[in-house]
Amino acid sequence: MKKKKSLFKAKYTHHLFLLIGLILLVFFIYRADPQKVLSFIPIIGLNFIFILAINLASFLGFSYAWQIALRDFIKEATTKLGFIKIFIYKITGEAVNNLTPLSWGGGDPLRVILLKGSLDTQKAAASVTVDRILNNFAAALIILVGILMTLARYTLPQEIKLGLWIFLVLLIAGSIFIYLRSHQGLFSFLISILKFLRIKRHFSDTTLQKVTETDRYISLFYKEDRWGFLFAFLLHLGGRLLSAWEILLIAQFLHSPLNFYEAYLLYSIAIVINLIFFFIPGRLGVLDGAYQGVFFLMNQDPSIGLGIQLVRRIRTFFWTLLGFLFFSLNKKKQNKTFPQK
């Protein structure tokens, strides 16, 4: 009964945050002149293909980075786990991330489940964890450079400068801590935290054994495949930089004077907003308002900023639909292979 109540509360909370996001989105569109904002969509027209192509390149890079980790965790699985299957699983996981308030806390466990037929859970969890850590390291570097560029280029009030420096120090310290902790046992450390906070005091011997095994696989990747780690990180970094190019391309289609430097800052702000407002599915309304506000501060048409984010939302919607299509086809395939009695 308690489990059913908690699931109901989680579902209710998810719908509530989604509703808040929709209200914010409608409010920002209304404030910016709805007719003008919505007119940007037909202006993009067939150029939307180029936007999808940039995003496809990002997904291909992210998928290959994940494949590097998988190859290290289970050499014999490369025949069962071809690149196309890994790409499909990546798209499926990101589709779930876009629709849940847990963000990657929803899609990443799904990737582990999808890998279940090809390798054991501990190796699957290790590969997904390493992949997510590398992606977050790339995001941290994007933010770090963005903050330094902002401090160097703009004259800011002392309070904002101090806040940015504090955030910068915490970002670097947090990244270093996660990197070092991953060598020594990331999941074991999380269990210790849960015990210390008395969220959960007791874990079964089987669970602790699986956690230790997963930590060992993660540690082995860092220690035995340093070049693989570096290459996978660069692929994640490149994939994220393509998102800045995507913003620049959309801006050019909408005849905005935005340059790459400004597009980069816009994207780095988006990453920070994704971290802070993770509980709102797709950061609906929040990102849209932020883009509008940044364009206003840059003395550019705020409606174009909102239009850019709307085009990016349509692109996200396309990949989300594709991800759920893959998930549906995979589920049908599993049902045929393992028919229910």
Give the distance from CA 134 to its chain's centroid: 11
How sure is the predictor about 63, in pLDDT bands with cuts at 50, 70 and 90?
very high
How many angstroms separate the first and last alpha carbons of the chain? 27
Tokens linked to 137? 């390291």
74-124 pLDDT tens trace: 654 544 678 888 999 999 988 888 776 666 667 888 888 888 877 788 888
Q: Do 241 and 42 meet the contact criterion of CB atoms below 8 Å apart?
A: no
3-59 pLDDT, tens digit per residue, is: 444 444 445 555 555 555 566 556 556 565 666 667 777 888 888 999 999 999 999
194, 178, 181, 187: which is closest to 213 by C-alpha?
Answer: 187
Token code pair at residue 303: 């409606």
Residue owning tokens 């070049």:
227
The domains of the chain are located at: 2-334
Handedness of CA 223, 228, 233, 234 (dihedral sign): positive
Predicted pLDDT of residue 341: 45
pLDDT at 78: 44
Residues 167-187 have a mean pLDDT of: 85
Higher pLDDT, 67 or 185: 67
| pLDDT for res 23 | 64
3-state secondary structure the chain: CHHHHHHHHHHHHHHHHHHHHHHHHHHHHHHCCHHHHHCHHHHHHHHHHHHHHHHHHHHHHHHHHHHHHHHHHCHHHHCCCCHHHHHHHHHHHHHHHHHCCCCHHHHHHHHHHHHHHCCCHHHHHHHHHHHHHHHHHHHHHHHHHHHHHHHHHCCCCHHHHHHHHHHHHHHHHHHHHHHHHHHHCHHHHHHHHHHHCCCCCCCCHHHHHHHHHHHHHHHHHHHHCHHHHHHHHHHHHHHHHHHHHHHHHHHHHCCCCCCHHHHHHHHHHHHHHHHHCCCCHHHCCHHHHHHHHHHHHCCCCHHHHHHHHHHHHHHHHHHHHHHHHHHHHHHHHHHHHCCCC
pLDDT of residue 338: 44
How many Cβ atoms from other residues are within 10 Å of residue 56's Cβ?
Answer: 14
How far CA 327 is from CA of 94, 331, 334, in Å, comes to: 11, 6, 11
Average pLDDT, the chain: 79
**Of 135-139, 278-282, 302-306, which gets the smallest average pLDDT?**
278-282
The C-alpha angle 158, 162, 168, rounded to 5 degrees, equals: 145
**pLDDT, tens digit, for every residue of 250-296?**
999 988 888 898 899 889 988 888 777 777 766 766 787 788 888 88
Query: Taking residues 138-146, what's their average pLDDT?
Result: 92
Using 50, 70 and 90 to split pLDDT, how confident is the model at 244?
Answer: very high
Instruction: With beta carbons less than 8 A apart as the criterion, state whether 308 and 294 touch.
Output: no
The two tokens of residue 274 are 């994704």
